[in-house]
Amino acid sequence: SAQIIDGKALAKQLRVGFRQRVEQLKARGVAPGLAVILVGDNPASRVYVGNKIKACEECGVRSLHLGLAADVSQAEVLRTIEQLNQDDSIHGILIQLPLPPHIELARVLQAISVHKDVDGFHLYNVGALVSGNSIFPPCTPYGVQLLLDTTGIDVAGKNAVVVGASNIVGKPMGLMLLQREATVTICHAKTRDLAQHTILADILIVAAGKPGLIVPQMVKEGAIVIDVGINRLPDGRIVGDVCFDEVREKASWITPVPGGVGPMTVTMLIENTLRSAERAFKAADEVAFQAWEAPTVQS
């Protein structure tokens, strides 16, 4: 049965290193700061924002939590972002999604300074990812990439199948795997005969938000299976998109839910914030458009 890829343990290990980087930054007079904007009071969003603030505290990163009313005007949101763009004590800005329908997501994402866009959703950063020079890789796929690294398996030449094609997870995940020279297939809700694709996957990454979607008959013997899904069942249990117990018998490596991708997502947000703060030492123009090098992780 498959070995478990322990996201919780890796996240913990990385955060130890982050605390050291924060100390080094502080010694040079820079206290890294992350601003988190939450519009309205969606309960799930509140939990996510709470986790991000908690991770900041754990790593010694200063966090600024800005709660805006659900009926705040778009102009006010843009003004808030502009103030944070100008604020030298803030190195990362993120706006918790989803936004209320009266606010244009694209306008808001494009208002965030490219240099502080730690979620990596600004069009510039999306384009940088496409061209292989990512500045701030989106946190969830970035975390998955580090989880894959812990297996010690080189993705180059492997069949990688991503189930889910969202802008936040599936698409950037596919691009990162392509950057590492995997042969990438991205499936989505309109894909005909999903199993026909997933059965070929040496690396199967599932981010559909559908509990029980991936059953063992859809998984190749010895595959690496990364489950990004987070679903709350009627009985309150949190599960992924993969039938864990059954698929574990076929896979070589598998991530649990919870304790797999989830803790890594928040961790990579801190990584991006620290990287932004570290950049403050260098001439902005010199490094802002430089190729991104992912940190290496011990397996």
Annotated binding site for NADP(+): 164-166, 230
d(CA 266, CA 198): 28
Asked whether position 120 contacts ligand NAD by CB under 6 A, the answer is no
User: DSSP label at 204?
Assistant: E
Q: CB atoms < 10 A from the CB of 114, how many?
A: 17
Q: Could you tell me which stretch among 18-26, 55-63, 107-115, 166-174 binds ligand NAD (CB under 6 A)?
A: 166-174
Q: How many residues in the chain?
A: 299
- Residue list 128-147, contact with ligand NAD (CB under 6 A): 140
Nearer residue to ligand NAD within complex by CB, 74 or 166: 166
Among 32, 164, 172, 256, binds ligand NAD (CB under 6 A): 164
Asked whether position 191 contacts ligand NAD by CB under 6 A, the answer is yes
Instruction: Give me the least distance between CB of 272 and ligand NAD, in Å please.
Output: 14
Q: Is 119 a catalytic residue?
A: yes
CA-nearest of 150, 172, 170 to 296 is: 150
- Residue list 248-287, contact with ligand NAD (CB under 6 A): 261-262, 265
Three-class secondary structure of residue 17 per DSSP: helix
d(CA 134, CA 130): 8
AA letter at 170: G
Residue 91 φ/ψ, nearest 5 degrees: -105, -15
Instruction: Give me the least distance between CB of 61 and ligand NAD, in Å please.
Output: 18
CA-nearest of 185, 140, 137 to 158 is: 185
Catalytically annotated residue among 116, 117, 119, 158: 119
* Residue 112 CB partners (closer than 8 Å, separation 6+): 81, 85, 93, 94, 95, 121, 122
Binding to ligand NAD by CB under 6 A, coded x per residue (else -) over 193-222, reads -x------------xxxx--x---------
Asked whether position 169 contacts ligand NAD by CB under 6 A, the answer is yes
Q: Which parts of this chain interact with ligand NAD (CB under 6 A)?
A: 140, 163-166, 168-170, 187-189, 191, 194, 207-210, 213, 228-231, 261-262, 265
Catalytically annotated residues: 52, 96, 119
